[in-house]
Amino acid sequence: MKRIMLIEDEVSILEATQIALEMYDFEVLAIADANNIFDQIESFQPEIILMDYNMGHHNGRKICDQIKSNPANAKIKVLLFTAAVTDDTEFKNPLFSNFDGYVAKPYSIEDLVEKVSR
């Protein structure tokens, strides 16, 4: 069972996505803010982080850069979870270079499950 950390500040999206992933037997830690993300990464040890790009006063790109720059976390797959990217061409923007992939919002459950299963 893959361990997925879901970081999303929109509670309705957070809850619906958590339920969808758990229906497919993923272990999910769903959090609505990134205040203690590095402590949570250390304790939960996710294989995948599905992270919103804009989270109030937190920036997903900067958090992703910090995750990837730490050798202990560098192997964690970090997926951008956003409405700002809808296709591969948009994802090639250098702003997203440290992300390992993306899930576009709104998402289909099939696309979500496929991308976290890779």
Domains of the chain by range and CATH? Answer: 3-117 (3.40.50.2300)
H or E element that contains 59: strand 58-59
Can you give the pLDDT at residue 58?
A: 87
Can you give the pLDDT at residue 5?
A: 98
- As a whole number, the mean pLDDT across the chain is 94
pLDDT bucket at 11, cuts 50 / 70 / 90: very high
pLDDT at 116 over 90: yes
Q: What's the pLDDT tens digit per position in 42-79?
A: 999 999 999 999 887 888 999 999 999 999 999 999 99
Distance between CA atoms of residues 114 and 41, nearest Å: 23
- One-letter amino acid at 26 equals F
Q: Do you find a cis peptide bond into 106, omega within 30 degrees of 0?
A: yes
